[in-house]
Structure 1
Amino acid sequence: MILSPFEWTIAKRYMLPGKGERFIALVAGISLVAVALGVAALVIVMSVMNGFRAELFDKIVNLNGHAIIQAYGGRLDDWERVLKDVRATKGVVRASPLIDQPLLVTFNGRTEGIQLRGHTAEDIARIQDKVKVGSLAEIKPGAENVAIGNQLAQNLGAQVGDVITVINPLGRATPFGTVPRQIGYRVAAIFEIGVYDYDNAFVMMPIKDAQTLLLTGDAIGTIEVTTNDPDNVGRILAPLSRQLEGRAIVTDWKTINASLFEALAVERVAMFVVLSIIVLVAVFNILSSLIMLVRAKTRDIAILRTMGATRRSLLKVFVTAGFCIGAMGTVLGLLLGFVFLYFRQPIVHLVEIVTGQNLWDPSIRFLTELPARSDPVEIVSICGMALVFSFLATLYPAYRAASTDPVQVLRYE
């Protein structure tokens, strides 16, 4: 819709009402702010939801892979052959043996439940960038060194160099019953994955040391698998599932974390719908301000008609005036949203200080920090929705203005 200089001049004049029309200007300003807040809220919430899902997925997959193969009974005696078959499967980019067992740990009279993770040296090295204190280089088979999560270290009061005692309740059988197996391990490194459940429970050691602690010999119970397409991991590993039927079960990340990611998907849709209503309410303000503007400018519109202004020109003038309010509100909302996302963590801390409440408890939110990841397609969709709503809100007032009969208006002038 191209405007002539005359149409653009009138549109600009109507976007800035005169002194006698301050109330109309106030309503238009409120409309602009409302659209900006609605767009900003959508950008912020959708980016945080996307970031939350992406961060959870990245951190979970980084430690657990896209799927795990778990042996029935917890023992996969011929795991070397199975591992070779897994690595030869088309679409599999990495497969590693893994020992994953819930146990207990004690230190200085404190006892905590842990998740023991026995990894290969290559898999342990993958968390090098997550290490806060200590060195992973000291974690070698037979050295009896381990790496523990940051939150677990705080709960135990343990530091690098301390010796913690890991307890295996299923120890050796004696004439007096089963004696739990207890082995002391030196803390060589403390890591922070960023997922509370992991940082609160994980103890990592070489797979040989884990086999010794659990008395499993050379057997393992789990194989961790990473594919080149996480969304189609079920199809990629379907041949393996049939091959291992009756001996082991293949479980992908979608099944393991189904309830969590389904809840996030439902919440994401619900938040988008609810926040879209805010934008819809904002454009009703544009509708109201334009209706008041048309009523206030009825005489001016009639005079313009008598001077040769066409209905089409008046339609374009009022559509432009209302659409520009929506467009400016959308741009302002985008800027406001991106500023909030950039400073999101300091803003959360500021609100916590002001309210005295812990807004981001990692034990509830899973992640240690508020994440954000903007999707360009979603941002464009949000802007498009706001602009379409703004355009639709201008049609009725613009039609009323274009339908003004100058004869009826100016009859008694």
Structure 2
Amino acid sequence: MILNRYERMIARRYLLPGKGEGFIFLVAAISLMAVALGVAALIIVMSVMNGFRAELFDKIVGLNGHAIVQGYDGRLSNWQQIADAARKTPGVTSALPLIEQPLMASANGRVEGVLVRGMRIQDLRSNRTINDNVKSGDLRSVTPGSGRIAIGSRLAEMLGAFPGSEIALISPEGRSTVVGTVPRIVSYTVGATFEVGVYDYDKAFVVMPMEDAQTLLMLGDEVGMIEIQTTNPDRVHEILAPLEPVVRGRGIIVDWRQMNSALFEALEIERIAMFVVLSLIVLVAVFNILSSLIMLVRAKTRDIAILRTMGASRQGMMKVFVTVGVIIGSLGIVLGLILGAIFLFFRQGVVDVIQAMTGQNLWDPSVRFLSELPSKTDPFEVTAIVLIALILSFLATLYPAWKAASTDPVQVLRYE
């Protein structure tokens, strides 16, 4: 839509407050701020939702892989054959043996449920999710036969443990006696604590070398599962389909979607619902643009009639008022992008300030899974938000512009 010189001059004049037009200008300013807040709210919420999903996915996959081959009875015999077959499967990048068993841990008179994980020492050293998040101690001290383990930071807090503390792990698989099975209790020294950022893991994980876990659980040379990483997590089912005949009869293949289906489906539904609900804010702002333009047309009826008698066309009048409305919407969108970017940059600080002011824990990791408020802005979603706001702003200008173009100069100026 190209405006000629006089149309640009009129549009610029109508955008600025004139004598007796302060109220109209106030309504237009409110409309601009409403669009800005709506766009900012959409960007902030969608970025936080995307960040939450991405961060949760990275943490979960970093510890559990894209899929696991789980033995039927918690034991996977001849696991080397399955691991070799998995590594040879196109699209598979790694296949690592693991032992994972829920047990009880005791220290300082406290008892907590834990999830013991046994890993080969080379796999433990190369796991960035654990290595990059060591809070205290030295993970290099955790070696086979050393009697040292690494535990989650939340678990350390609950047990009152720290590097150098003694922790007893209690396994129900103990020795049989005349009075029944006696639980197996083995003491270990805490070598390091880590915090991956997922509350459920940080409060339960106990990591130890594979050999120590096999001894504790009396597994011999067997493992509990094989963790598999692929080149494309969204195609993990297709990639691992050739591996199913090898696994059949000894275990099952469970991918990341099945392991966390309820959580990720709930996140996706909430993400869509939030987008729809928050889009209503932009719609309300657009109605404000509509009302401010209607008032502007009513206030400028005499001016429009004079312009029409001077040769201004109906199309020219429509372009003027469409331009005014679109500029208000565009300025609101730009301001919304700036507000959204500022909030996302300082998001954790904002949460901390609100928590300090209200005394409420707004981001309880035991509820939110993650320790901090995440964010990941999707350029395609931002583009979609901007386009939706622009289209709605344009549509809101059509009726006032049509009313302005329909002004009959004879009727308006008859008694002037």
- CA positional deviation for 1:317: 0.5
Aligned match of 2:158 in 147, 155, 171?
155
Which residue does 1:165 correspond to in 2? 168
The 2-side partners of 1:256 and 1:91 are apart by 20
Structure 1 counterpart of 2:78: 78
- In structure 1, the residue matched to 2:321 is 318
Distance 1:193 1:120 in 2: 19
Name 2:197's counterpart in structure 1: 194
Q: State the SS of the aligned residue for 1:173.
A: strand
User: In 2, distance between residues paired with 1:9 and 1:123?
Assistant: 70
State the Cα distance separating 1:20 from its structure 2 match.
0.2
Q: Which residue of 2 aligns with 1:22?
A: 22
Q: 1:261-285: CA deviations, max 9, x gaps?
A: 0000000000000000110010000
Find the partner of 1:270 among 270, 273, 277: 273
Q: How does 1:12-411 map to 2 (within 5 A)?
A: 12-125=12-125, 126=127, 127-411=130-414
Paired letter, 2:271: R
Which AA in structure 1 matches 2:34? A
1:311 shift after superposition: 1.0
RMSD after superposition:
0.8
The separation in 1 between residues aligned to 2:332 and 2:266, in whole angstroms, is 32
* TM-score (normalizing by structure 1): 0.99
Q: Percent identity, aligned pairs only?
A: 63
For the 8 Å contact 2:66–2:228, the answer to whether it is kept is yes
The letter for the 1-side match of 2:35 is V
CA deviations over 1:259-308 (Å, ceiling 9, x no partner) = 00000000000000000011001000000000000011000000001111
Counterpart AA for 2:414: R
Distance in 1 (alpha carbons) for counterparts of 2:114 and 2:99: 13
Report Cα offsets for 1:349-373 as digits up to 9, x if no partner. 1111111110000000000000000
For 1:95, what is the secondary structure of its paired residue? strand
- Residues 289-345 of structure 1 show CA distances to partners (whole Å, capped at 9, x for unaligned) of 000000110000000011111111111100000110000000000100110000000
Letter in 2 for 1:48: V
CA-to-partner distance for each residue in 1:40-96, whole Å, 9 max, x for gaps?
Answer: 000000000000000000000000000010011111110111111111111100110
Q: Which runs of 5+ in 1 are unaligned?
A: none
Instruction: Quote how far apart the aligned CAs of 1:175 are.
Output: 2.3
SS in 2 for 1:148: strand
Amino acid of the residue matched to residue 12 of structure 2?
Answer: K
Query: Which consecutive aligned stretches of 4+ in structure 1 deviate over 6 angstroms post-superposition?
Result: none
Measure the CA separation in 1 of the matches of 2:177 and 2:239: 46
Q: 1:259 is aligned with what amino acid?
A: A
2: CA distance, partners of 1:286 / 1:78:
70
Deviation at 1:391, TM superposition (A): 0.5
SS in 2 for 1:74: coil
Contact between 2:82 and 2:246, CA under 8 Å: does it hold in 1? Answer: no
Corresponding pairs, count = 413
